Structure 1
Amino acid sequence: MKKIRNGDEILSAGDRSSRQIVLEIADRTLDRLDSYRRMRGIMRMEGSVLHIGTRSWDLSNKRNVYLFGAGKACNHMAMAVDHVLGERLTKGIAIVKVLEETDRFNRTEVFIGGHPLPNEEGHRASKKIIEIVDQSGPDDLFICVISGGSSALMSCPIDGISLQDEIDTTDVLLKSGAGIYEINAVRRHISALNGGMLAKRIQDIGAELIGFGISDAVGNPATGDISVPYAAYKSTPIGPDATTLDDARATIINRNVADRLPKTVVDYLMNAGPEGETPKAFPDNTYFLLNTLPDSCIYAKEICEEMGIPAMIVSSFLEGEARDAGTFFASMAREIQTYGNPVKAPCVLLSSGEVTTLIEDNSVIRGHGGPGQEMAVSFAITAAKTSGACLLSVDTEGTDGTTRVAGGITDSSTARAAADKGINLYQALRDHSCYEALEAVSSAIFTGNTGTNLCDLTIMYVPELQRGA
């Protein structure tokens, strides 16, 4: 396997035949989504001319060419630009979540930022980015590569709000049950770079910006021809921001977090005037959109069809509590295998989106985990009633929640295997210790950095019910 590194271990446990099918679909989907491959497919240098898809730039007309990047897929995206430009690149700064031994850069300085919570190194890198922009002029070119996670990794709060305030704000919001749009509405309006503020800085000096993005926002349509500039690009540090100050205020009120957020943040957001709003348009920038959330399901479905397995996309809008989603998929598996609704077995059901985990009290946490792992554990409990049913749920960028693993894979035999080891899966869900439970039964998925970032991908395989089962 190219992306899933512990496939042999995973196949040593549980229902091997079902796991093999699900792992192959996942691995091939992640490989197809790799941003390095996609960017190198549309980007090349010919002499002094940089070609990106249908557009070209003569770099001999540029004084400096800078590369800025942030996000959980930034490693591969930044390497693509760094490798194509070579000596034409003046300097690059990339803020990544995990630095892999195989990452190779020529003129790019790499910082390991914090995610899901910001850290000092990401803050330091962000300050360097601001220094470079503020010393630049209209003859400079900025190439920016951004993927999901940039809001935490490229951390630079506005004056009057400290880095610790931003860390605490992110922590509270992530545990509040808020969706990513709500969380971003708050984070972007207290940032000096996010929510389009980096693009605004570049615009203010009259320089040109070329942006590459991967959109993990629920609701964006599938990508088309990625060689054509994308006119409707939004959000992240380099595009117009769709969230508003009113959205940020509504999040604080609706999620009832005013008394848990730092006072500096609440006071600022509740009292900010129009000058505190984020920018809403950048008509002169050029953007290329590499992937969007529905792409993972579309590619996975095509791969299933190549394998001769009927597949159905259930939703590319999946949100809500992770454990509830796991129970729902297990119930669907039983319906399919027993009654053939909504599709007959054998089949694959696919979904993408961003499920969440509500943690109102940190004192209940007894281990580690993430939404994908909680979804897989929850599935295992109910799927014990459906012979051979198998579900994989991963965060496509390679790290789920606070763990080093991408997510989990469980099947109809997992609950029994866990019980045999003295593991109570209900307790693992209550304690938010699903990582430890999955590791114990060889059901945690390890990928490392995948080169993409499209939130959650869920793949469920349901075999035919064997006679006598």
Structure 2
Amino acid sequence: MTTLIPDPRQFLLDLYAGAVAAVSAEKCLPAYLPQPPEGGRTLVIGAGKAAAAMAAAVEKHWAGELSGLVVTRYGHNADCRRIEVVEAAHPVPDEAGRQAAARMMDMVRGLGEKDLVLCLISGGGSSLLALPAPGITLEQKRALNQALLKSGAAIDEMNCVRKHLSAIKGGRLALACAPARVVTLLISDVPGDDPGIIASGPTLPDATTCSDALNVLRKYDIALPEAVRRHLESGEGETPKPGDARFAGHSHHVVATAQQALEAAAAQARAAGITPYILSDAIEGEAREIAKMHAALARQIALHQQPFRKPCVLISGGETTVTVRGSGRGGRNAEFLLGLAVALNGQPGVHAIACDTDGIDGSEDNAGAVFGPDTLKRAESLELKMRAMLDNNDGYGFFKALGDLIVTGPTRTNVNDFRALLIL
């Protein structure tokens, strides 16, 4: 251990806190607010885990009149007075989300050319704006959503399917706003920051097709109700495409990204005298496989000072996936750290943190967990079987037994995974 970092665990916790603070709505959103419309009204709509915090930031910094409705996850509310906040379920949609989406579509109809629609979008909006296409039930969408979540499908694949089974996503919300101008502000939770993928792009055109959605469902061998199959095969679920004249005059801005969070953490590490290396802001793949890659790099540094000299910290973001085969309590960040523990097998000098920036690791109550060189011995003393628990997708159970879960509560922002490996 270096005297520069007397408490590695606290150092990593501070990096995570700094990363989250850097992408808060209050910090990132105000600079992108448009001018109030002349002679028209401003309607605020939106959805996502950060939607309530974004709405609160708009209220604080908006000069003109304001009204609207946003949908956020249960427990992710914020203090808004002019914009109504509705809470609904995530990651599997519920009736509250369906009703809110239907109300939102009714609110935007009948607007005029001088009106402005300010749409606030962040990760989680796909489940929170749950308005099935005609002929498809909410229960059918719920079942497909659950199957996709367990399949290991990437976020762009899941959202491709969601867009083509929806009456609001994939640009349809923007079309309902016509002829009003739509300005969309987004906090990105997707690798690559494609605004059309974030929350399944309710106000943006969509380049994917019904055929693409069918291919995703076939790839993961997901059984389809006949109504869903007909909807996709007939092309009834097709979305408006890029170049569609109905999107003319609209604009969008991604106001917060994973890269901003990683750069904030890197600056914080540098200030503490530790050299940071940002590996990527867009890492995807099975959490346990990504863990093996990180472990191999950390071991090479610890043993051979290659490709970086220690002390250093490796920082990365993106969105890993978990193909669920066991019955344990997981979360992709807990799975990553348990995979890392197995791969490092007690390697001295390596400490790590993996958390979701929204404060919720999947559907559990923790943001993620921390790991240290003593994790293996502590686990053995409690007779915890690391490999067996990894096979059972029970990262939550493993780190809970060790007292190493990180519980922050909702952060009201969301730029996806944050990982940091400190090598001393």
TM-score relative to the length of structure 1: 0.83
Q: Secondary structure of 1:344's match? A: coil
> Superposition pairs for residues 54-453 of structure 1, below 5 Å?
55-59=34-38, 61-62=39-40, 64-85=41-62, 88-89=65-66, 91-100=67-76, 103-203=78-178, 206-220=179-193, 236-257=201-222, 260-272=223-235, 276-281=238-243, 282-359=247-324, 364-365=326-327, 367-453=328-414
Per-residue deviation, 1:58: 4.0
- 1:178 deviates by 1.2
SS in 2 for 1:213: strand
Task: Rate the CA distance shift 1:407–1:38 in 2: closer, same or farther, 3 A.
Answer: same
Is the contact between residue 354 and residue 368 of structure 2 (CA under 8 Å) also seen in structure 1? Answer: yes
Distance 1:264 1:311 in 2: 52
How far is the alpha carbon of 1:70 from its aligned partner?
0.5
Cα separation, partners in 2 of 1:126 and 1:270, compared to 1, 3 Å: same
Amino acid at match of 1:213: L
* 1:17-28 equivalences in 2 (<5 Å): 17-28=7-18
Match of 2:27 in 1: 37
Task: Give the AA of the match of 2:107.
Answer: I
Q: Counterparts of 1:65 and 1:56 in 2: how far apart (Å)? A: 10
Q: CA separation in 2, counterparts of 1:115 and 1:25? A: 27
Post-superposition shift, 1:25? 1.2
Whichever residue aligns with residue 45 of structure 2, its letter is F
- In structure 2, what is the equivalent of residue 458 of structure 1? 419
Contact 1:197 1:279 in 2 (8 A): no
Structure 1 spans left out of the alignment, 5+ residues: 1-14, 44-51, 222-229, 464-469
Query: Is the 8 Å Cα contact of residues 172 and 261 (structure 1) preserved in structure 2?
Result: no
Give the C-alpha shift of residue 266 in structure 1. 2.5
Deviations 1:366-421 (A, max 9, x none): x3221111001111223343213111111111111120111111112112222222
Shifted more, 232-241 versus 149-158: the winner is 232-241
User: 1:374–1:429: 8 Å Cα contact kept in structure 2?
Assistant: yes
Q: Deviations over 1:110-142 (max 9, x none)?
A: 222221111111111101101112243334321
Question: Offset of 1:201 from its aligned partner?
Answer: 1.0
Distance in 2 between residues matched to 1:241 and 1:357, nearest whole Å:
26
**Preserved contact between residue 25 and residue 300 of structure 1 (Cα < 8 Å):** yes
Q: Is the 8 A contact 1:327 1:378 kept in 2?
A: yes
Residues 140-176 of structure 1 deviation map (CA, whole Å, 9 limit, x = unaligned): 3211100111111111011000111111111111111
Residue 359 of structure 1: SS of its match in structure 2?
coil
Preserved CA contact (<8 Å) 1:146 1:213: yes
Q: 1:16 to 1:117 in 2, by over 3 A?
A: farther
User: Which moved further from structure 2: 121-130 or 280-289?
Assistant: 280-289
Gap change, CA 1:80 and 1:200, over 3 Å in 2: same
> How far apart, in 2, do the equivalents of 1:135 and 1:56 lie?
22
**Alpha carbon RMSD of aligned pairs, Å?**
2.4
**Residue type of the alignment partner of 1:454:** V
Structure 1 residue 442: Cα displacement: 1.9
| Alpha-carbon distance in 1 for matches of 2:321, 2:213 | 19
Moved more, 158-167 or 67-76: 67-76
Which secondary structure does the structure 2 equivalent of 1:125 belong to?
helix
Q: Residue 317 and residue 39 in structure 1: after superposition, are their counterparts in 2 closer, same or farther (change >3 A)?
A: closer
Question: Post-superposition shift, 1:279?
Answer: 3.5
- The structure-2 alpha-carbon separation of the partners of 1:322 and 1:359, relative to structure 1 and needing over 3 Å to count, comes to same
Task: Mark the CA change 1:139 to 1:220 in structure 2 (over 3 Å): closer, same or farther.
Answer: closer
Determine the C-alpha separation between the residues in 2 that align with 1:180 and 1:395: 15
**1:338 Cα deviation from its structure 2 partner:** 0.3
CA distance 1:234–1:167, change in 2 (3 Å): closer
How far apart, CA to CA, are the structure 2 residues paired with 1:219 and 1:318?
Answer: 9
Q: How many angstroms does 1:231 deviate by?
A: 12
Equivalent AA in structure 2 for residue 28 of structure 1: G
Q: 1:359 corresponds to which letter in structure 2?
A: V
- Give me the identity figure in percent: 30
Q: 1:231 to 1:130 in 2, by over 3 A?
A: closer
Query: 1:86 offset after TM fit, Å?
Result: 7.5
Query: Which deviates more from structure 2 when the two are superposed, residues 78-87 or residues 126-135?
Result: 78-87
Q: 1:191: Cα distance to partner?
A: 0.7
1:20 Cα offset (Å): 1.8
* Distance change >3 Å, CA 234–CA 163, structure 1 → 2: closer
Asked if the contact 1:244–1:278 (Cα under 8 Å) also holds between the matched residues in 2, the reply is no
Q: Contact conserved, 1:36 with 1:451, CA < 8 A, in 2?
A: no
**Change in 2 beyond 3 A, CA 1:100/1:184:** closer
Corresponding residue SS for 2:212? helix
Does structure 2 conserve the Cα–Cα contact (< 8 Å) formed by 1:389 and 1:460? yes
How many residue pairs match? The answer is 417
1:72: how far off? 1.3
Q: 1:16 to 1:417 in 2, by over 3 A?
A: farther
TM superposition shift of 1:232: 12
- Cα deviation per residue 1:271-301 (whole Å; 9 max; x = unaligned)? 215x723342423113222123333222222
Cα contact 2:159–2:199 (8 A) shared by 1: no
Change in CA separation of 1:165 and 1:232 when aligned onto 2, cut-off 3 Å:
closer
